[in-house]
Amino acid sequence: MDNIKCKTIASRCYCSAMVWLWDIRQTWTTLSLFLFETNAKECSKWIVEKKNKKKKKKKKKKKKKKKKKKKKKKKKKEEEEEEEEEEEEEEEEEEEEEEEEDDDDNDGEREEEDLGERQKEEKEEQEICYRRFIRIVFMLRRRCILNDKVAYYLLCIFRNSGFLHEATDA
């Protein structure tokens, strides 16, 4: 493929991938299927679909096991949380008494702390998305679903968008 075709394919992949990437719960297989289809490899589609069917069966079995484990863990966590909540309520009552005295001074500080925490959470979510995107591109390149040139241009677009710097800074 020539460079122009590779660039257009990469840009299409990138735009759709970013839409999917914002939904962290989205699986890698749907993204890899899309990237594969835009790259137009004939034989790989059948292989990917076959792998997906096997993965779905395994996932169903794992989900059943996980649900049982989660139920047990939830019961334990709920008991622990109830105990912690009681302790926290006692601490909060003590803190509220102290806060009433210093209420005017602390309001601005709390808002700043809340904003800082929100920004950290957003950066963590973005970092997860960005790392996942890079891993997917390399994984698809290794499996020959993505052409080397398309993978290169896809990462170039990713790098030029500024997301790569944010992911590495965080």
49 has pLDDT over 70? no
Considering the domain boundaries, does residue 20 fall inside one? Answer: yes
Considering the domain boundaries, does residue 35 fall inside one? Answer: yes
43 has pLDDT over 50? no
Considering the domain boundaries, does residue 40 fall inside one? Answer: yes
Considering the domain boundaries, does residue 149 fall inside one? Answer: yes
Considering the domain boundaries, does residue 10 fall inside one? Answer: yes
What gap in Å lies between CA 136 and CA 153, rounded to an integer?
14
The structure's pTM equals 0.33
146 phi/psi in degrees, rounded to 5: -105, 135
3-state helix, strand and coil shares in percent for the chain, rounded to the nearest 5: 90, 0, 10
Domain count along the chain: 1
Considering the domain boundaries, does residue 96 fall inside one? Answer: no
Considering the domain boundaries, does residue 116 fall inside one? Answer: no
Average of pLDDT values for 28-52?
54
Spatial CA neighbour of 35 closest among 22, 45, 25 = 45
- Cβ distance 10 to 110 under 8 Å? no
Considering the domain boundaries, does residue 64 fall inside one? Answer: no
Structure-block tokens of residue 2:
């020539």
- pLDDT, tens only, 103-160: 555 566 677 777 888 888 887 877 776 777 777 777 777 777 667 777 777 777 776 6
Residue 16 carries which side chain, given as an amino acid letter?
S
Q: What is the pLDDT of residue 108?
A: 61
- pLDDT, tens only, 71-109: 888 888 887 777 777 777 777 777 777 766 665 555 666
Residue 42 structural domain: 3-56+131-169
Q: How far out from the chain centre does Cα 60 lie?
A: 21
> Residue 1 CB: number of other CB atoms within 10 A?
14
- Most confident range (mean pLDDT) of 34-48, 58-72, 93-107 is 58-72
Structure-block tokens of residue 163:
């997301």
Q: What is the pLDDT of residue 138?
A: 78
